């Protein structure tokens, strides 16, 4: 007989402000324990040396993680000029130095070349798999890791300040797959010097914003008062960009059985008008829509030819 999974059926998102010196996996485990949740996952790894927004999905919200992972992100980070490390952040050992310190004018002039669609070679210390192994595991074992350049999107890159000659504080908005450490490396090379990321904070992941996040201590304080559920965001938070359609109680039943429903003409036209290119985890979701019933997400499905066919159904309970 299969052993029943421990924990309670809690569903939704926690917009966690991850602290420094904690892995994303440790953060997920901590949140899961607070809620005694059956299932939990996160939407985008943050290194231990990085703080900020780490959206954590509980229960049925884990089915929406791919949508959160594809969302745009915003980072604020500090670059330290003159020292390059093995990891391109403060964790690594210094391997190169340079006396060159770019001034504000030179730095501002260099930034436009790193916005828009650009190619970037990920750092060797990354989670990318090489022949089935994580690149950072190979790098830590002393092996030479050569990764291919990949196309990334950087929506904006702003200089926020230069508190010291050695330091520059920047903000970057980007899509999936962009590395702040690689950007610091390449920006330094463009400016004729070397650098590493001295501090990193993620301030936004799609609809999840640092301004509305909660710390682990804050979450524990709510839990002690029996109010932890107040921090839960709706399951559909990660699906904000999907057009939605309201369904009746009978249609809810049909969708939960995995059967397609016929859309009213107005609903079908509305969903068709809202269609836009969208690829999630390598799949075409341009026809995707969210069925809502009883003020809850019922299913993600494909709206086509006047019908809504469920692709992913949410089971509440």
Give the residue from 272, 273, 281 showing the smallest Cα distance to 302: 272
Length of the chain: 317
φ/ψ of residue 79, rounded to 5: -100, 130
Question: What's the rounded Cα separation, in Å, for the pair 13 and 11?
Answer: 7
Question: Do the beta carbons of residue 120 and residue 179 sit within 8 Å?
Answer: yes
Give the position of tokens 């400016």.
191
What residues are labeled active site?
47
Cβ atoms within 10 A of the Cβ of 72, count?
A: 14
Tell me whether residue 15 is exposed, middle or buried, using C-beta atoms within 10 angstroms of its C-beta: 0 to 12, 13 to 18, 19 or more. buried
For strand 133-134 and strand 129-130, is the pairing parallel, antiparallel, or unpaired?
antiparallel
Residues 19 and 84: their CA atoms lie apart, in Å, by 25
> Computed from CA positions of residues 260, 264, 265, 266, in that sequence, does the dihedral angle turn out positive or negative?
negative
């Amino acid at each position: 007989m299969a052993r029943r999974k421990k924990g309670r059926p809690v569903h939704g998102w926690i917009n966690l402000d991850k602290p420094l010196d904690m892995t994303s996996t440790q953060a997920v485990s901590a949140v899961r324990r607070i809620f005694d949740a059956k299932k939990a996952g996160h939407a985008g790894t943050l290194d231990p040396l990085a703080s900020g927004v780490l959206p954590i999905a509980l229960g049925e919200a884990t089915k929406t993680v791919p949508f959160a992972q594809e969302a745009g992100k915003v980072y604020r980070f500090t670059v330290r000029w003159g020292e390059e490390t093995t990891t391109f952040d403060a964790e690594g050992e210094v391997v190169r130095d340079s006396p060159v310190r770019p001034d504000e004018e030179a730095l501002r002039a260099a930034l436009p070349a790193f916005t828009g669609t650009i190619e970037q070679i990920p750092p060797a210390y990354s989670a990318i798999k090489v022949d089935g192994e994580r690149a950072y595991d190979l790098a830590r074992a002393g092996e030479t890791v050569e990764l291919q350049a990949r196309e990334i999107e950087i929506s904006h890159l702003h200089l926020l300040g230069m508190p010291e000659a050695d330091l520059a504080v920047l903000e970057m908005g980007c899509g999936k797959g962009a590395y702040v450490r690689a950007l610091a490396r390449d920006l330094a090379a463009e400016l004729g010097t070397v650098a590493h990321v001295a501090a990193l904070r993620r301030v936004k992941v799609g609809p999840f914003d640092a301004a509305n996040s909660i710390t682990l201590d804050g979450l524990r304080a709510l839990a002690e008062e029996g109010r932890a559920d107040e921090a839960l965001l709706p399951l559909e938070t990660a699906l904000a960009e999907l057009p939605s359609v309201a369904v009746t109680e009978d249609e809810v039943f049909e969708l939960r059985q995995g059967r397609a429903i016929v859309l009213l003409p107005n609903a079908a036209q509305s969903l068709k008008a809202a269609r836009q290119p969208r690829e999630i985890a390598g799949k075409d979701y341009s026809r995707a829509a969210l069925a809502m019933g009883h003020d809850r997400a019922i299913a993600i499905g494909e709206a086509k030819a006047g019908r809504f066919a469920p692709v992913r159904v949410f089971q509440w309970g």
